[in-house]
Amino acid sequence: MTEFTLPDTSSFEKVAYLVGIPIAHSKSPSLHRAIYTAVGKNWAQLLCETSDLEGFLHYLKRDPKCMGSGVTMPFKVAVIPHLDELTDEGRAIGAVNTIFFKPGSNRSRRFCGTNTDCLGIRDAFQTNVKGAPYRGKPGLIIGGGGTCRAAIYTLQHFMGCSPIYIINRDEREVEAVLQECHNRGAAADLIHVQTVAQARSLPAPGAAVSAVPDFPAVTQEEKVVREILKVFLNTDEKGALLEMCYHPSPDTEISRLTLEARWQVIGGIEAMIGQGLAQAGLWTGIEIDERLRNVSREAVEMQMRASL
């Protein structure tokens, strides 16, 4: 277990954290700093890269400046047993990316967990797609990890997509997702699409979320998933795809395939901005508006340009 180095908070009146490993590339601190500066506050989000989750949570209980924390891999599931309560989103998705506080007894803090990734996915579509042409149409998710779970919740509860297709190179990951959804009664409209022939027999999706890293298809399983994706993209009906992968570049193989098929591509920073704004609202009570959304986007885009 690697102990963490306490971030220096002396320059700020209040702070939030982001805990995980590795997180040095994260754009989240720039996003939050831009939000708080825009509303005249000397607040910040600081990185806490560690494998010592329990030590970090113990530190949070004692830090009077702390407003809350973001949670990223590998702790989105592991943190749940340490929390006092979960929101509906955190419970339904089975993964937490945000800790916020409620007052407890004797001036203590109740640790509450939620998932704002689903709100970021929702906002990415609502902000960038005119109307809601995907409502009532099938949804598509590429991937079987934690973001897949958040995307299922978003497509089901916020975007009105049904059924929802899942494609992924690892069948076991999808089976785990389906079992979790079945256990909470949310699997009735989920379809694991495993062959090109099956894809050709299904109605075209109106919205898609790509929740996998950028990589060339090498294995047979990866090649089949790409061919299935091409079937869905190259129908007469077109939709919008959210490419969650934006590091190190938003120019991915999947985004290029999507553009070639004349679908709209939404960059992953839009989802990251949406989930970050939701976090800021929970931690501070700040009312989120379009000005703060634009300020956040400018800060993230500036950092991305600087890293090229």
Helix (H, G, I), strand (E, B) or coil at 23: coil
242 and 282 housed in the same domain: no
136 and 242 housed in the same domain: yes
pLDDT at residue number 3: 63
142 and 203 housed in the same domain: yes
Whole-angstrom Cα distance, residue 157 to residue 168?
Answer: 22
Which residues lie closer than 8 Å to 286 by C-beta, 6 or more apart? 35, 39, 280, 292
Whole-angstrom Cα distance, residue 308 to residue 306?
Answer: 6
2 in any annotated domain = no
79 and 110 housed in the same domain: yes
125 and 252 housed in the same domain: yes
135 in any annotated domain = yes
Q: Which two tokens stand for residue 283?
A: 């931690």
7 in any annotated domain = no
Q: Please give the model's pTM, rounded to 2 decimal places.
A: 0.91
8 in any annotated domain = no
Give the CATH number of the domain where residue 24 resides.
Answer: 3.40.50.10860
Read off the pLDDT of residues 253-270 as tens digits, 9 standing for 90 and up: 999 999 999 999 999 999
Mean pLDDT of 110-125: 96
Domain total of the chain: 2
262 and 158 housed in the same domain: yes
Residue 103 has pLDDT above 80, yes or no: yes
Cis ω for the linkage preceding 81 (within 30 of 0):
no
6 in any annotated domain = no
pLDDT at residue number 39: 96
160 and 283 housed in the same domain: no
204 and 289 housed in the same domain: no
Query: Residue 170 to residues 142, 155, 217, 241, 307: CA-CA distances in angstroms?
Result: 11, 22, 13, 21, 32
69 and 154 housed in the same domain: no
Whole-angstrom Cα distance, residue 94 to residue 43?
Answer: 30
Give the CATH number of the domain where residue 264 resides.
Answer: 3.40.50.720
Domain of 84, in residue numbers: 14-115+270-307
9 in any annotated domain = no
97 in any annotated domain = yes
205 and 255 housed in the same domain: yes
Read off the pLDDT of residues 178-213 as tens digits, 9 standing for 90 and up: 999 998 888 899 999 999 999 999 999 999 999 998
206 and 297 housed in the same domain: no
Mean pLDDT of 230-236: 97
1 in any annotated domain = no
Count CB neighbours of 170 within 10 A.
Answer: 14
237 and 293 housed in the same domain: no
Residue 249 has pLDDT above 90, yes or no: no
Q: Which two tokens stand for residue 112?
A: 């509450």
DSSP string, 219-274: SHHHHHHHHHHHHHHTSSS--EEEE---SS-S--HHHHHHHHTT-EEEEHHHHHHH
